[in-house]
Amino acid sequence: MKSLITTAVDLCLLRMGPQDIPASQTLLLVSFVLNFIVGVLMVIGFQADLTRAFLETLFQIVLMLGALYLALHITKRLSRFNQTATALMLSGLLLGLMVLTFGDLESTQSVDRVWSVDFSADVLEHCSAGPYTETYF
């Protein structure tokens, strides 16, 4: 678990990219499950019931992974899916843990979103092997 958190911190601080993560189905599955659990806990923190929390979190993750799959398929870089998806799952896990740890969900949510967008753009730039704006826009 400590190595997962260390990897997530290095990813979020932009010290490593998705290409530095092993292309492992098991690692992707573990990071997915942990990210899902943290996501459900965050949604429950907003006074939602458990069913709504499950559905919201599942929808968010499936939407993100679906968009990633589509983008990599269009750019013919589908072989990078496991590493990129794992990087996004690990960053979501770390950011979610930070939001849960530091309490006030509403005030930390905006910081979480800004950092998440910045990190996601960096990950997409790494996986596309080119500047983000040139590849997708």
Per-residue pLDDT tens digits of the chain, which is 137 residues long: 678 778 888 887 778 888 888 888 999 999 999 999 998 998 887 777 899 999 999 999 999 899 889 988 988 888 889 998 998 898 888 888 887 887 665 555 555 555 566 556 666 666 656 544 444 44
pTM across the whole model = 0.77
Q: What is the pLDDT of residue 117?
A: 61
Q: How far apart are CA 70 and CA 85, in angstroms?
A: 12
Ranges of H-type helices in 1-137 = 2-12, 25-45, 50-74, 81-101, 105-128, 132-136
b/e sequence 39-71, b meaning 16+ C-beta within 10 Å? bbebbbbeebeeeebbebbeeebeebbeebeeb
